[in-house]
Chain A
């Protein structure tokens, strides 16, 4: 089926998420939609899928104008979507998830589960994999959950399939398998829209590439275009992600992690027997596909995880078993992965957020009273120093952009006397300008002798910051390698393969 988007415009208040976007996808074609985080790709797809209503423009299928009131209409018209955040109900079985909204019933309105099971098996068999139709979705690994999403779309006879950032949660190996599935779908004559910001994947499967920036189509490219060409199209200027940094001035061992294991509430060993050392004045980057224990590792260092075994010693002080408060007071700075959820109180002002983890003692609190004038002075100083773009220190932090919010977090953490900085995904969802600023501040902290642990799923960021790189897979350390290790080696390690020359450094 041929899909056309004509002049799609979608506004959120004063901002224009999609600005007159045109896109044509032919049957039997894989069309990549390439763009940075926040370029407006998903908004466009949500318009296509009927989740948002476009302010202007129209969607055409086989040259007929469509009017989608909701996803139900889009599905009925033959559009299927594999959502980035799987739209599966964790406590339902695979078969129930596949049939939901499209149920076949027997006499008396009873669900026809055997038919749903058969459908799951039939579609899975077509693509050469197996999914147990009676397994609960929450028990399945993410890679399999994604296949359930694909089965769900295909079970509704989707002719146009939209994959929204499907590889974000996959290992390279799983990604390859997904690519194979996409090629097979293409061979069956489906039209495929593949949304991503990862250049290598684009070049591997795309027939055509459309690049979106700031809500506008900025160009089309062929899969033969070089990475550099695609990247400069995508970000609109030469990408300078490497940060100027000198050789590390290494000090003593500061953080010594020894046989650390974290068990989650259902008993999985999310961090499994991990040991490593970070020295003063170096950045250890923890790389890996999302969900391989990095988050839990940082939480364990902060005292946020339950069921932690082993030890993590910072300058002679054991961190495991301590309260978060004690760990913060012993000089650990923490930039959490999800700042809106864990780093900031949205309906607190910038000033209040700047004292969030110092609400116990001077200078911000004396005798149980908030020291409001001191806080105001401090906040003004930090807003200036960290270039936080705001109308004032009493603005709610939730009104700031992602980059400025992250600067608030960073300003708070770096203004304490640090003996260790743990930064998880420090530039996720942050604009390019802020990324540079944040990277510089992290390097500055390292140069002042603070040991730094940076967790990142972006290889670019890892390469830009790391003095050494530690790769995690399924809760274990695959290896710790020098900062200049080639990407292909890192990619293999992220899939769990130990590099041939063994874990160095």
Chain B
């Protein structure tokens, strides 16, 4: 048990070399095994000759390593990002007016077109970088590094939400209800945040807990329905998104509930200062205490998944609920608990929005699409806690940089959505990326034949 990287759940996850193989071939993750029927496996070892370990020499360590680098996840992830940025570049270039103008006389002076393309793309991406990491145009370090803190601020709810989605993934569930859970959590936390007058610190904690409970319970509805009636959580969480949206919209325009007194806008009053997350780096930076909470959440999720009994049961249910049930694990209970925790994490994303990022009162758009972004973050992070953390920071950088790209270069922020979703699509389909870059397909040799079982016509 030296390094039990938890195996992935139902959805893509994990960082073992065969994780992406599992995505390509969900039914069978390895030549010998997968869901191969016993008969096939008996053929493999042959009756009377149980598992000859000597027959297939295990590859040496460094061979394995080389192969992992060439075919494994790390390079696929990097290439997916590169590819997505490339597509983004093409979109930027083609819609740039200077490029269009120059291409009008392309055959006369092709250099102009190429230059225009270079300028538009380089301008956009350098604005993206300077808006998300370090701004070289600022003189002093503190001002220059501000974009990085912005990145972390944007990353905070993405990490929290991504963890929530990832945890549900590992239990074999797809929580698409991030939007609803964030809205409910934000409403509860916000209501506590502006409607009460509690001492500094305590107020924040009460509001935080209220938000987490709100998110947990909202997701818990989906968990409960799945456990009790078998209702598919994908459908229920999607539907609950809209229910939450309309519910919150109604509360926001109803005086006495969430609407700011004396206002006719569907917006809440500003948060009580006592409830607001403290700034981490002083008032000139937006980075707030929520980021610490996101780090803590990552650690907690890591502990749950790889070190705790609960996580053991979660993972067992996620991979094989039937076997888990036969082993006495309360599968339905696990679905419910997982959704509670997942909802609480998405709730944390919602709370960090209202108590950290937008403390001047919020509207029904407070979720800012983070509920869906969280899915892509979890997928990019392969449903592991630290992978999700890293993915959250990357997408946080895209968001932070996207805004400055829009401001500086006039490139619409939506390009970020495109790049983000392309990254996830590419990562989910490693063979596609390998084909595009001409990399070797791992296990391509036995690929055709490795899963005779899934044929249904069982070899006997």
Contact = CB atoms under 8 A, between A and B. Distances in A.
- Whether A and B touch (Cβ < 8 Å) is answered with yes
Contact of B48 (A324, A376, A432): A432
A389 B50 contact: yes
Contacts of B446: 12-14
B64 interface: no
A289 to B, nearest CB: 17
Interface residues of B, number: 64
Interface stretch (A117-125, A150-158, A198-206, A357-365): A357-365
B1 A38 contact: no
Nearest to A215: B43
B42 A349 contact: no
A345 B37 CA distance: 14
Given A38-B42, A42-B39, A87 B449 contact: no
A38 B30 contact: no
Contacts of A268: none
Interface in A225-247: 235-237
A336 B38 contact: no
A344 B320 contact: yes
B207 to A, nearest CB: 28
A403 B315 CA distance: 25
Nearest to A402: B38
Interface stretch (B78-86, B113-121, B321-329, B397-405): B321-329
Given A12-B31, A42-B459, A302-B326, A401 B41 contact: yes
Interface in B214-270: none
A10 B46 CA distance: 15
Contacts of B278: none
B308 interface: yes
B108 interface: no
Interface string A351-380: 110011101100001001110110110000
A400 B39 contact: no
Interface residues of A, number: 89
Contact of A52 (B29, B45, B452): B452
Contacts of A17: 40, 43, 452, 459
Interface string A339-350: 111111111110
Contacts of B109: none
Nearest to B459: A42
Q: Which of A13, A43, A323 has the most CB of B within 10 A?
A: A13
Interface in B291-324: 307-310, 312-313, 315-316, 319-320, 322-324
A323 B327 CA distance: 11
Interface string A26-48: 00000000001111111100100
A433 B48 contact: yes
A474 interface: no
A433 B326 CA distance: 27
A304 interface: yes
A308 to B, nearest CB: 15
Interface stretch (B52-60, B135-143, B282-290, B376-384): B52-60
A12 B50 CA distance: 17
Contacts of A147: none
A15 interface: yes
Contacts of A404: 50-51
Contacts of A38: 38-43, 46-47, 459-460
Contacts of B325: 304, 324, 342
B323 A341 contact: yes
B459 A43 contact: yes
A372 B6 CA distance: 13
A394 B16 CA distance: 13
Interface stretch (A94-102, A135-143, A280-288, A423-431): A423-431
Contacts of B326: 302, 304, 324, 334, 336, 342-343, 357
Given A14-B55, A323-B328, A365-B309, A401 B4 contact: no
B178 interface: no
B33 A396 contact: yes
B323 A401 contact: no
Contact of A402 (B34, B41, B309): B41
Contacts of B327: 324, 328, 356-357, 359
A449 B33 CA distance: 36
Contacts of A10: 449
Interface in A418-444: 428-434
A213 B47 contact: yes
Contacts of B29: 346-347, 396, 398
Contacts of A250: none
Contacts of B4: 349, 352, 372, 394
Contacts of B34: 346, 398
Interface string A141-185: 000000000000000000000001100000000000000000000
B7 interface: yes
B203 interface: no
A346 B35 contact: yes
Contacts of B308: 368-370
A39 B43 contact: yes
A130 interface: no
B132 to A, nearest CB: 36
A186 interface: no
Q: Which of A214, A304, A359 has the most CB of B within 10 A?
A: A359
B259 to A, nearest CB: 43
Contacts of B452: 12, 17, 43, 46, 52
Interface in A57-91: 83-85, 87
A234 B157 CA distance: 64
B457 A372 contact: no
B60 to A, nearest CB: 14
A407 to B, nearest CB: 9
A340 B28 CA distance: 12
Contacts of B55: 14
Given A12-B446, A368-B310, A431-B45, 18 more contacts: A17-B43, A38-B38, A39-B47, A43-B452, A46-B455, A213-B47, A323-B330, A328-B327, A347-B7, A348-B7, A352-B4, A398-B33, A400-B51, A401-B42, A401-B51, A402-B38, A403-B42, A429-B38
Considering the complex of A and B, which 9 residue pairs feature the smallest CB-CB distances, nearest first?
Answer: A429-B38, A38-B42, A398-B33, A13-B446, A357-B327, A402-B38, A325-B328, A347-B7, A389-B51
Interface of A: 10-15, 17, 36-43, 46, 49, 51-52, 83-85, 87, 164-165, 195, 213-215, 235-237, 302, 304, 323-325, 327-329, 334, 336, 339-349, 351-352, 355-357, 359-360, 365, 368-370, 372-373, 375-376, 389-391, 393-394, 396, 398-405, 428-434
7 contacts: A38-B39, A52-B449, A339-B38, A342-B322, A391-B58, A394-B4, A403-B45
